[in-house]
Amino acid sequence: MTITPVLLCGGSGTRLWPLSRKSYPKQFAPFLGRESLFQASAKRLSGEGFAPPLVVTASEFRFIVTEQLGGAGIDPGAILIEPEGRNTAPAVLAAALWLEKTDPDALMLVAPSDHVIPEPEAFHAVLETGAEAARAGRMVTFGIAPDRPETGYGWLELAEAGGEGVQDLVRFVEKPDEDKASAMLDAGRFLWNAGIFLFSVRTILDAFRAHAPDLMEPVGAALDKGREDLGFLRLDPEAWEGADDISIDYAVMERADNLSVVPFDGRWSDLGDWYAVWRETADDTGVAQAGNALAIDCEDTLLRSEAEGQALVGIGLQNIVAVAMPDAVLVADASRAQDVKIAVSALKDRGAAQAESFPKDHRPWGWVETLVGGDRFQVKRIVVQPGAALSLQSHHHRAEHWIVVEGTAKVTIGETERLLTENQSIYVPLGEKHRLANPGIVPMVLIEIQTGSYLAEDDITRYDDIYART
């Protein structure tokens, strides 16, 4: 029997700001190497023994999901779009109800899409161990063998210490203080809660009916009234609004009596803050460097430059996290890594765009980045993927100049259509209908200069759009 991965990827990851933001959260960023955490998770749960993944995400991430899955060579089984985040219980229930239509006895593996598990073969082995129990009607969770008194994770208490294979779960333990975490580590019968679950569709639906029956009607209606949209299924927003905002742990797992745990002693991290990134990437001297970063006589320090042409240099630093982006720089004591979310809240209160908006604005056709701007002008870099096209649109308050610097652009202005190649440019008058497309087989890069009295993105009227945006 194959396992259907259910990838949850709707979180914001504010503790990894400024690389992770509301508009482009951590699961889609390449923290470790070239792949994003989402791509690594999808690849880890693909191949022999796995069905195509079912993805539950937010509307603003739907095209990022398809682009990144395509880049990883994975074709999703279905992508469910949540009208708004309602925590993990409604998301898991929607996935289970979707799978029930085709195979109510199928096994589904619920997994966050932002975890790091660098030894997939070892993880597959524990999945195989848990699958037998799941087929027998157990709800299986996977516990991580702890190596420190971690206060940032929930814990699982086992019936006895030192057991192997499928174990009985005594209880869930909320995130502890340091003294309690140290005591649990010494006791030897506690594991970290990875938030990864394996069960049959029938078993989890029975559990929802028994322990969270109030979710069944709104989530079921949201699925039944959902509408197809370019290969996505948009859950009905009115019905979805009636679902409680609650985690799968609180709604079902902590109330069920058929839970089992499979210990996993391989490497694992939820990459919950910059200190966790440092642990995964530091060298023998305790220094982690990424991008164009240089550490001189530093210890236990993370230096990360995320901007082209920007050098980040640290000298004589100890226990420091420094992350440089084109529009924001974070410098923090490593012991305060969990407090980055406080900075995000403070920036949001000040109305700073950097609190939530990523410098690169990812679109279904590619991405756009603001290079420089003033009161009446902006300069942007636009990258359009092969075969993609922007909407046919117009603006009331701005004109645009386009200069192609890489590839070939097909440009429509009014009733005129023409091809532009590198070093060619064209003027788009204020109010004129226009469209930009890439007819080539390589990405097209264009510099756009906007001039006018109002330059915000809401000054756009769409007449036709292949991505069905309104």
Q: Report pLDDT for 203.
A: 97
Are residue 322 and residue 278 in the same domain, yes or no?
yes
Question: Among residues of the chain, what percentage have pLDDT more than 90?
Answer: 83
Q: Report pLDDT for 12.
A: 74
Are residue 284 and residue 226 in the same domain, yes or no?
no
Would the pLDDT of 469 be above 80? no
* Nearest residue to 304 (alpha-carbon basis) of 272, 330, 280, 265: 330
Q: Report pLDDT for 230.
A: 83
What is the SS3 assignment for 232?
strand
Would the pLDDT of 11 be above 90? no
Rounded Cα gap, residues 352 and 468, in angstroms: 30
Are residue 232 and residue 333 in the same domain, yes or no?
no
- Report pLDDT digits (tens) over 86-100: 999 999 999 999 999
Question: pLDDT band at 262, cuts 50/70/90?
Answer: very high
DSSP assignment of 320-369 equals EEEEE-SS-EEEEEGGGGGGHHHHHHHHHHTT-GGGT--SEEEETTEEEE
Evaluate whether residue 279 is within a structural domain.
yes
- Report pLDDT digits (tens) over 156-199: 999 888 777 899 899 999 999 999 999 999 998 999 999 999 99
Rounded Cα gap, residues 177 and 225, in angstroms: 44
Are residue 124 and residue 165 in the same domain, yes or no?
yes
Q: What is the mean pLDDT of residues 409-429?
A: 96
Single out the residue in 299, 329, 349 at which a domain terminates.
349
Name the token pair of 217: 């009607």
Contacts (Cβ under 8 Å, ≥6 apart) of 463? 391, 392, 393, 394, 433
Are residue 334 and residue 413 in the same domain, yes or no?
no
Would the pLDDT of 269 be above 80? yes
Q: Report pLDDT for 216.
A: 97
CATH number of the domain residue 171 falls in:
3.90.550.10
Burial class (CB in 10 A: 0-12, 13-18, 19+), 284: exposed
Q: Report pLDDT for 242.
A: 96
Q: Report pLDDT for 354.
A: 93
Q: Report pLDDT for 165.
A: 86
In the block, tokens 């309104």 appear at: 470
Q: What is the mean pLDDT of residues 316-320?
A: 97
| Cβ atoms within 10 Å of 368's Cβ, excluding its own | 18
Single out the residue in 208, 230, 264 at which a domain terminates.
264
pTM above 0.85, yes or no: yes
Are residue 33 and residue 161 in the same domain, yes or no?
yes
Are residue 220 and residue 117 in the same domain, yes or no?
yes
Residue 204 host element (H or E): helix 201-211
Question: pLDDT band at 1, cuts 50/70/90?
Answer: low
Q: Report pLDDT for 50.
A: 95
Single out the residue in 315, 349, 383 at which a domain terminates.
349
Evaluate whether residue 237 is within a structural domain.
yes
Are residue 208 and residue 323 in the same domain, yes or no?
no
- Report pLDDT digits (tens) over 121-131: 999 999 999 99
Q: Report pLDDT for 470.
A: 66
Q: Report pLDDT for 229.
A: 85
* Nearest residue to 139 (alpha-carbon basis) of 185, 94, 196: 196
Amino acid at 124: H
Are residue 144 and residue 20 in the same domain, yes or no?
yes
Question: To the nearest whole number, what is the mean pLDDT of the chain?
Answer: 93
Evaluate whether residue 391 is within a structural domain.
yes
Domain holding 106, by residue range, is: 3-264
* Nearest residue to 139 (alpha-carbon basis) of 252, 289, 286, 269: 252
Burial class (CB in 10 A: 0-12, 13-18, 19+), 308: exposed
**Counted domains in the chain:** 3
Q: Report pLDDT for 33.
A: 86
Would the pLDDT of 243 be above 90? yes
Are residue 287 and residue 260 in the same domain, yes or no?
no
71-85, 365-379, 385-399, 456-470: least confident range: 456-470
Are residue 87 and residue 40 in the same domain, yes or no?
yes
Would the pLDDT of 152 be above 90? no
Q: Report pLDDT for 159.
A: 85
Backbone φ, ψ for residue 133 (5° rounding): -65, -40
Helix 201-211 crosses helix 88-100 at what angle (to 10 degrees)? Answer: 130
Contacts (Cβ under 8 Å, ≥6 apart) of 71? 39
CATH number of the domain residue 377 falls in:
2.60.120.10
Question: Among residues of the chain, what percentage have pLDDT more than 70?
Answer: 100
Would the pLDDT of 339 be above 80? yes
Evaluate whether residue 356 is within a structural domain.
no
